[in-house]
Each structure stands twice: as C-alpha cells, then as structure tokens.
C-alpha cells in the first residue's frame, strides 16, 4: 500500500514536531522507516549502536537518526538526537498512526444491560460485556473478547480479539491487552489436606495502572487475598506468567516467557530478560536489570545488572563441564580439608 499524503513528511517538519537537530536539507521528503541495511531514499533509518557503523556507510536511506558523536560526519542528511532509538520510535509513530476504529457496537456483541459503556466505545463481533462493567471513553473491545462482571476500565484502552478479563479487574487508561491474554484468573493456591489438594479461594483482584501494555497469551493471576498490582507504564511481552499477589513497579519492562512466582515484588524501571524465572516472596530493587535465562532465587537489594545464564558451548564440552560441576561440592570439601591440614601444619612448625 502506498503512503497517503498525511504519511509523507519533510525532514524539517519532523524536527519541528519532535525536536532534535537537522544536519542537511530540510526539504528532503520521507514516507517510511527502515533499517540501515534495507532503507531506500524515501526512508528514515537510525543508528543506536556503533557496531553497525559499517551499515551506516553503505545505507541508501534518505535520512538517518544518529547520536551527537556523528554530527556532521555523514554525507546523508541526519537528525542528531540524544536517544536515537527513542527518536526513531516517535518517527515511526508519525508514519504508522493507529487505525481509528468505528464507533458503536457490532450487533452480535453481547452487552449486559447493567454495563455502563461510554458512547465513543467500539465493541467488536461476539464480544461479551458482563453486568456491572464500566468502560470509559475511547476504548475498543475486539471481536470475541470477554469482559467479566464489575470490571472497571479507564479511557482509550485497546483490548484485542479474544482477550479475557475476569471479574472485578481494574484497568487504568491507555492500556493495551493483546490477543489471548488472560487477566484475573485464579492464582495457583492449593493446600495439602489429608493426602489431597484443596483449593485456596482466590478473592483478590488484578489492578493495572495507566499506559500498560500486556502481550499476547500473557497471564496475570488475581490475588489470593490482596490484589496483584501492575503499576503505571509497565510493558509486558508475550507469554509471561505473573502469579498471585505479585507487584510490578512503574515503567518496568519484561521480555517473553518470564515466570514470576507468587507474592514477589519487582521494583520500578527494572528490565527482565526473556525466559528468566523469579522465585516467590522475593523483593527486587528499583533499576535492576536481569539478563535472559537468569534464575533469581533470592531478593536483590541493590540496582545493577544480574546474570545467571550459563553460556552455550559444544555438546561435548558441555557434558565435560557438567560432569565437573557435579563434583564441585566434593572438591570444595577437599579444599577445605586441605586448608585445615595446612593450618595445623603451620601451627606445629611455629
């Protein structure tokens, strides 16, 4: 599809809207964003990591977004920004505005008469809105989505097709929930009683702040007693499991396939890499970065980067090192015994 007139911008217009410093011809027009490698003269690309400098030298982009260190060093028109990647995100949003959904509700949507739905809300085919639901202005509920009883939703939310919000969830404004996500299912609360498991009722809620995004097939369990809380600005990738009574601090970002066990508290502005696991009842400080595939089994009290991933290697080397690791405990005991023996020897000599 060719870009519409509204999607074509002069570089001067982009800088006027978004800031930054333009080096080059302000009249150059661009209509899309692209990578350095694949860009053509109608595209804007960016460089945020200097390991891609070789691609910058070869790019055919009409303009490039760069950091201060490259100011004036390019023949290509360039926009100098303090954070090139964030600036690129804003430019991409100019070219790719979200589609405006139609107002009104599809005739096949099932709307309980006790629901309070703002006039500007759009509800898609076969969506179900239960009793006591409150949905604010500008929200879109996709086809087949389910909004349980007494859910409260702020303004300008986007609930994609086939997402599920269980009863009594509280959703802030400008929240996006992608397809297949389940918000408010029961937490995994069970107790052993006379040789069998009995269910612990999960009577808390899920409370989600403003400007949160929840990826496809991510699940957030309701609290067992207190609420599970996702604070403002949190970004959750696909296929994440957030257990009951977890609290995730504001503006934390979590990559795909992370599992967070019950009652753990994640600080603000944390970054958690994909496939990491966080054990239950832990506290993670603000501004903590956890590398991918890291298993966190104790609380982290100081900001910083923490890594527990074992680097990959050939299968032959891995087997040899794994065999050595199994003997590590015995080796530690032998070293300690040797140290004790040396101490005794030194005392005898003295």
DSSP secondary structure code for residue 208 in this structure: E
What are the residues facing 278 on neighbouring strands?
A: 260, 296
The conformation of residue 96, written as its DSSP 8-state character, comes to S
Give the residue from 149, 148, 141, 100 showing the smallest Cα distance to 124.
141
Cβ atoms of 234 and 253 within 8 Å: the answer is yes
What residues contact 172, with CB distance under 8 A and at least 6 apart?
154, 208, 209, 210, 211, 212, 232
Cα 201 to Cα 189: distance, rounded to the nearest angstrom: 7
> Measuring CA to CA, how many Å separate 130 from each of 145, 155, 210?
11, 18, 23
Give the integer Cα–Cα distance in Å for 135 and 118.
Answer: 6
CA–CA separation, 121 vs 140, rounded Å?
Answer: 6
Q: Helix 84-95 to helix 11-18 angle, to the nearest 10 degrees?
A: 110
Plot region of 208 (φ>0 → left; ψ -120 to 50 → alpha; else → beta) = beta
DSSP 8-state class, residue 4: P
Q: Give the contacts of 272 (CB within 8 A, at least 6 positions apart).
A: 252, 253, 254, 255, 258, 266, 278, 289, 290
Rg (CA), the chain: 27
Q: What sign for the dihedral angle of Cα 248, 254, 256, 261? A: negative
- Residues with a catalytic annotation lie at 244
């Amino acid at each position: 599809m060719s870009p519409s007139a509204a999607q074509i911008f002069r570089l001067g217009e982009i800088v006027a809207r978004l800031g930054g410093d333009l080096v080059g011809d302000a009249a150059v027009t661009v209509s899309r964003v692209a990578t350095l490698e694949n860009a053509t003269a109608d595209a804007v690309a960016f460089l945020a990591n200097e390991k891609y400098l070789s691609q910058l030298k070869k790019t055919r982009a009409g303009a490039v977004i760069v950091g201060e260190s490259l100011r004036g060093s390019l023949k290509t028109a360039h926009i100098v920004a303090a954070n090139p990647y964030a600036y690129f995100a804003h430019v991409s949003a100019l070219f790719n505005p979200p589609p405006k959904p139609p107002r009104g509700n599809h005739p096949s949507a099932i709307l309980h008469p006790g629901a309070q739905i703002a006039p500007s809300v759009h509800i898609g085919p076969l969506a179900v809105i239960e009793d006591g639901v409150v949905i604010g202005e500008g929200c879109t509920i996709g086809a087949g989505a389910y909004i349980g009883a007494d859910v409260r939703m702020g303004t300008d939310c986007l609930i994609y097709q086939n997402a599920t919000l269980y009863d009594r969830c509280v959703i802030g404004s400008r929240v996006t929930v992608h397809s297949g996500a389940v918000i408010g299912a029961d937490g995994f609360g069970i107790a052993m009683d006379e040789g069998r498991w009995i269910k612990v009722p999960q009577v808390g809620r899920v409370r989600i702040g403003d400007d949160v995004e929840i990826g496809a097939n991510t699940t957030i369990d309701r609290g067992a007693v207190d609420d599970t809380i996702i604070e403002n600005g949190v970004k959750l990738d696909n296929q994440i499991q957030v257990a009951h009574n977890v609290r995730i601090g504001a503006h934390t970002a979590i990559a795909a396939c992370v599992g967070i066990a019950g009652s753990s508290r994640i600080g603000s502005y944390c970054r958690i890499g994909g496939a990491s696991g966080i054990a239950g009842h832990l506290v993670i400080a603000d501004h903590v970065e956890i590398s991918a595939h890291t298993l966190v089994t104790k609380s982290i009290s100081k900001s910083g980067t923490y890594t527990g991933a074992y680097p990959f290697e050939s299968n032959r080397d891995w087997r040899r090192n794994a065999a050595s690791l199994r003997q590590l405990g015995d080796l530690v005991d032998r070293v300690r015994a040797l140290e004790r023996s040396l101490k005794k020897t030194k005392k005898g000599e003295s």
